[in-house]
């Protein structure tokens, strides 16, 4: 199954195989309904290495039943005495999102959001976002998937709470419209225990669907996110906050600007460390080998005509002479000249009828013989 083409965004970022991971600061509702806080978070995300900021948008009347909105909602994380008032307190208007989009794009960031219902998705499309995000909760909401597909916009599809049968269905629905789909592996536990992260599942998803795969981390630390780089994610998303002590479960699994900056730096280091895919010797190693590797030398003074035995050889630094790997080829050879203790072994002072062809060949290529490689 072919890999979908790279998604190139107006903001200048590219998302897809072979591109650096697209780092998303998931602001979500961590602004807690404050436009000023949201502005501050966008600026902070730009300063700490994010490529994109992602918000969430809900139309409460379209998303919840009346009973759900009227349900009592108390506790330390509540922003209202009913769930409807709580959710309303966390929402930003379309006008606020438009302002934040302008701000984000002025800072070189891609702006997008998760649409939790049809009116919210239509609003985001009207704002001119470059991407759409389908949250894990809506992976099985077929009408929303179809509406997202109809926009023609690239879709990032989160896969928490889902088995492969659910994901098969969602991918098939989106593929009715286009192939610009990124599957985001995640576990929707908040926080997710490290042993439940399941990074190898990313390879399973890539093979199954032939689509680019990313990672959305809900763990407390950075280890799994950095390790995810080994599975070539095209997107890495982490929740983002200015203060982890604020009320709400998202803040507990979110990264502060300092932590996000550290993650971004480590991701780029890990990506660089994944570039070489075949065993090779680099110039710095070759220079180290001259100093640290050993050469074949004579263990004692020996006369011309002497037949060299194992006891006549030693392996000593530096590695500027014949590699010790050829010691067996030297044993049994006859000396053509007198040699001194610690003198480097050379084929040109050996009469070696039993030296293997490979060793004789090395004698004709002194640079290779001397290097030991």
Domain boundary among 225, 248, 273: 273
Judge whether 17 lies within some domain.
yes
Query: What span, in angstroms and rounded, lies between the C-alpha atoms of 341 and 217?
Result: 63
CA angle in degrees (0–180, nearest 5) for 261-106-253: 35
End position of a domain, from candidates 273, 297, 330: 273
pLDDT for res 58: 96
pLDDT of residue 250: 78
Local structure of residue 265 (DSSP, 8 states): H
Beta bridge pairs of residue 8: 14
Q: Do 114 and 190 share a domain, yes or no?
A: yes
Alpha helices in 52-163, H assignment, sequence order = 60-63, 66-70, 83-90, 94-106, 118-127, 142-151
Dist. CA 64–CA 58, nearest whole Å: 10
**3-state secondary structure (DSSP) of residue 342:** coil
Helical H segments across the chain, by residue range: 35-47, 60-63, 66-70, 83-90, 94-106, 118-127, 142-151, 164-175, 201-209, 223-227, 249-252, 257-273, 283-292, 327-330, 357-364, 366-371
Contact present, 3 and 179 (Cβ < 8 Å): no
- Residue 194, domain CATH: 3.20.20.70
Q: How far is CA 330 from CA 296, 338, 368, in A?
A: 9, 16, 16
The answer to whether residues 357 and 265 belong to one domain is no
Does 102 lie in the same domain as 153?
Answer: yes
Q: Phi/psi at 128 (nearest 5 deg)?
A: 85, 30
Same domain, yes or no, for 262 and 303? no
Give the contacts of 194 (CB within 8 A, at least 6 positions apart): 219, 221, 223, 224
Residues in the chain: 373
- pLDDT tens, the chain, 373 aa long: 555 679 999 889 999 999 999 999 999 999 999 999 999 999 999 999 999 999 999 999 999 999 999 999 988 888 889 999 999 999 999 999 999 999 999 999 999 999 999 999 999 999 999 999 999 999 999 999 999 999 999 999 999 999 999 999 999 999 999 999 999 999 999 899 999 999 999 999 999 999 999 999 999 999 999 999 999 999 999 999 998 888 777 787 899 999 999 999 999 999 999 999 999 999 999 999 999 999 999 999 999 999 999 999 999 999 999 999 999 999 999 999 999 999 999 999 999 655 555 444 544 433 343 343 3
The domain in which residue 350 lies consists of: 283-371
**Cross-strand pairs, 314:** 297
Same-domain status, 213 and 334: no
Predicted TM-score (pTM) of this structure: 0.87
pLDDT score for 98: 97
CA 340/CA 298 separation, integer angstroms: 7
Residue 355: the pLDDT is: 54
CATH of the domain at 353: 3.90.1210.10
139 in Cβ contact with 158 (< 8 Å): yes
State residue 253's pLDDT score: 83
């Amino acid at each position: 199954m072919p890999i979908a083409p790279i998604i190139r965004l107006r903001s200048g970022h590219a998302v897809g195989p072979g591109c650096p991971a697209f780092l998303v600061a998931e602001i979500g509702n961590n602004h807690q309904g404050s436009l000023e806080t949201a502005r501050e978070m966008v600026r902070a995300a730009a300063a700490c290495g994010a490529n994109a900021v992602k918000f969430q948008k809900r139309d409460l009347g379209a998303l919840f039943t009346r009973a759900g909105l009227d349900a009592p909602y108390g506790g330390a994380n509540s922003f209202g005495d009913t769930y409807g008032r709580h959710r309303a307190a966390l929402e930003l208007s379309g006008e606020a999102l438009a302002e934040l989009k302008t701000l984000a794009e002025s800072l070189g960031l891609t702006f997008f959001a998760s649409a939790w219902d049809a009116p919210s998705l239509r609003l985001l499309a009207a704002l001119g976002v470059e991407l759409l995000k389908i949250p894990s909760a809506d992976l099985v909401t077929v009408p929303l998937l179809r509406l997202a597909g109809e926009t023609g916009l690239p879709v990032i599809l989160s896969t928490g709470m889902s088995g492969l049968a659910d994901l098969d269905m969602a991918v098939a629905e989106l593929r009715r419209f286009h192939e610009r789909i990124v599957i985001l592996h995640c576990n929707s536990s908040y926080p997710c225990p490290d042993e439940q992260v399941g990074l190898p599942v990313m390879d399973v998803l890539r093979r199954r669907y032939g689509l680019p795969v990313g990672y959305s981390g809900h763990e407390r630390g950075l280890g799994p996110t950095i390790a995810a780089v080994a599975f070539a994610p095209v997107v890495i998303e982490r929740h983002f906050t200015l203060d982890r002590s604020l009320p709400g479960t998202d803040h507990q699994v979110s990264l502060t600007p300092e932590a996000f900056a550290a993650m971004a730096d480590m991701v780029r280091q890990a990506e660089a460390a994944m570039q070489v895919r075949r065993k090779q010797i680099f110039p710095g190693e070759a220079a180290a080998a001259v100093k640290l590797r050993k050469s074949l030398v004579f263990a004692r003074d020996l006369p011309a005509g002497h037949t060299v035995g194992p006891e006549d050889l030693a392996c000593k630094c530096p590695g500027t002479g014949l590699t010790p790997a050829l010691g067996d080829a030297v044993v049994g050879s006859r000396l053509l000249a007198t040699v001194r203790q610690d003198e480097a072994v050379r084929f040109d002072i050996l009469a070696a009828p039993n030296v293997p062809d490979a060793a004789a060949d090395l004698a004709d290529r002194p640079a290779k013989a001397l290097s030991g490689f």
